[in-house]
């Protein structure tokens, strides 16, 4: 990473951890295919299975329930399907209910037809309406199949935490299946799959300091399973065909093991920096809106809007000053557009927001430098508003 720049976009991707790099390097020296029965193949399989245990341990899950994928988007497409098996018998899922602030890979409904997907409303802080969920499930037509509910643990833009445990209870009361996107929360919050009440968790390696291009579906059991998205050679117990990538998976496992240690102490340090950053922002620009500030959030995330300044304009200004932040989610090949999260919260989606997301490698000096740049950008905003009142 360029040392003259400041990286504050951990929610888009976290820098590769040294332990993950080392695990990948070691795995790259293994010549065998993990499906081969000879010694070389068994060595590669051992690497994959070690990572499987490490990823499961991060979420309080059983290693047997971990299915490796190319990332969380594929994981979502795998699970979000009307076609399931209960053992050998077909199991129909009739409708998908998703919160309106989900990541696009979940919000788009996976393999469900659009008319079998319902968006659940959220409040002004982006927290899902649990009574609305209950009402939808009460009127769900069980004759077409079971209901499936998909709710993220932490929002990728605002960092706001969802009441997943309560949503799980409501879902179970109505015989439904709960899918939890834990991508942003993993490694930043303690996670126990059983305590959450989730049937399936979605994870992504690169959000926690592992390599890009690998993720996982974690299943609470092995009886109720979605039909494979990618059929073929039967890898991952037939749930995801295609030769596993031992190097990427090893890096994923090493990152999962690393971020599960000293989590409380690391979180406290990150929270202190986040709070200092937000206090500095508001001291400089009291009219700044910090979205979701009234709700529990990830300790590393700040998502704010400056009235009179478009998010993409601010993002470019930060970048020119050597500070990497994002204008919302980095999931659309760099495209910047209205935030569906802000729209769902009843905020100005066209104005947009700037997301600052930090990590354990962030420093107090970087926070101070960010605030210096912020002050400069805000000064230009104020000058422009005084001169012509225009939105820039």
Which residues are designated catalytic?
331
The residues, any chain, with a CB within 8 Å of residue 238's CB and separated by 6 or more, are 228
Written as six digits, the tokens of 76 are: 């979502």
Angle subtended at Cα 143 by Cα 139 and Cα 145, rounded to the nearest 5 degrees: 90
Q: Name the residue among 170, 196, 27 with its Cα closest to residue 97.
A: 170
Neighbours of 23 (CB within 10 A): 29
Structure-derived torsion over alpha carbons of residues 328, 329, 332, 335, reported in degrees to the nearest 10: 10
Is the separation of the CB atoms in 202 and 180 below 8 Å?
yes
Q: Name the residue among 331, 270, 277, 276 with its Cα closest to residue 298.
A: 270
H helix or E strand, kind and range, residue 219 = strand 215-219
Is the separation of the CB atoms in 240 and 38 below 8 Å?
no
Structure-derived torsion over alpha carbons of residues 340, 345, 346, 350, reported in degrees to the nearest 10: -30
Q: How far is CA 306 from CA 56, 162, 284, 309, in A?
A: 41, 25, 11, 6
The residues, any chain, with a CB within 8 Å of residue 257's CB and separated by 6 or more, are 19, 54, 57, 58
Task: Tell the burial category of 185 from Cβ atoms under 10 Å away from its Cβ (0-12, 13-18, 19+).
Answer: buried
Place of tokens 């802000």: 342
Q: How far is CA 218 from CA 53, 61, 96, in A?
A: 11, 8, 19
């Amino acid at each position: 990473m360029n040392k003259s720049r400041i990286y504050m976009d951990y929610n888009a991707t976290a820098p590769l951890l040294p332990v993950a790099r080392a695990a990948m390097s070691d795995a790259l020296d293994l010549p065998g295919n993990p499906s081969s029965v000879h010694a070389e193949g068994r060595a590669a399989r051992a690497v994959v299975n070690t990572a499987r245990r490490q990823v499961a341990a991060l979420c309080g899950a059983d290693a047997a329930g971990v299915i490796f994928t190319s990332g969380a988007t594929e994981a979502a497409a795998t699970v979000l399907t009307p076609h399931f098996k209960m053992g050998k018998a077909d199991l129909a899922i009739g409708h998908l209910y998703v919160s309106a602030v989900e990541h696009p890979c979940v919000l788009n409904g996976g393999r469900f037809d659009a008319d079998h997907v319902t968006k659940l409303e959220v409040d002004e802080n982006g927290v899902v309406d649990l009574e609305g969920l209950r009402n939808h499930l009460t009127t769900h037509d069980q004759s077409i199949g079971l209901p499936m509910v998909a709710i993220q643990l932490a929002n990728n833009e605002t960092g706001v935490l969802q009441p997943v445990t309560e949503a799980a209870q409501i879902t179970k009361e109505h015989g439904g299946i709960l899918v939890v996107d834990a991508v942003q929360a993993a490694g930043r919050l303690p996670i126990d799959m059983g305590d959450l009440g989730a049937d399936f968790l979605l994870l992504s390696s690169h959000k926690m300091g592992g390599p890009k291009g690998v993720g996982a579906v974690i299943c609470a059991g092995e009886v109720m399973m979605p039909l494979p998205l990618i059929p073929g050679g039967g890898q991952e117990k037939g749930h995801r065909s295609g030769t596993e990538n031992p190097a990427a998976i090893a890096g994923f496992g090493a990152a999962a093991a690393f971020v599960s240690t000293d989590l409380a102490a690391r979180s406290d340090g990150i929270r202190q920096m986040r709070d200092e950053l937000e206090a500095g922002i508001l001291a400089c620009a009291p009219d700044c809106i910090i979205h979701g500030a009234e709700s529990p959030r990830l300790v590393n995330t700040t998502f704010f809007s400056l009235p009179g300044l478009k998010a993409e304009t601010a993002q470019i200004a930060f970048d020119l000053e050597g500070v990497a932040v994002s204008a919302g989610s980095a999931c659309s090949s760099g495209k910047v557009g209205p935030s569906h999260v802000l729209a769902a919260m009843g905020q100005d989606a066209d104005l947009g927001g700037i997301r600052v997301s930090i990590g354990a490698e962030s420093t107090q000096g970087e926070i101070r430098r960010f605030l210096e740049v912020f002050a400069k950008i805000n000064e230009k905003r104020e000058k422009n508003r005084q001169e012509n009142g225009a939105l820039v």
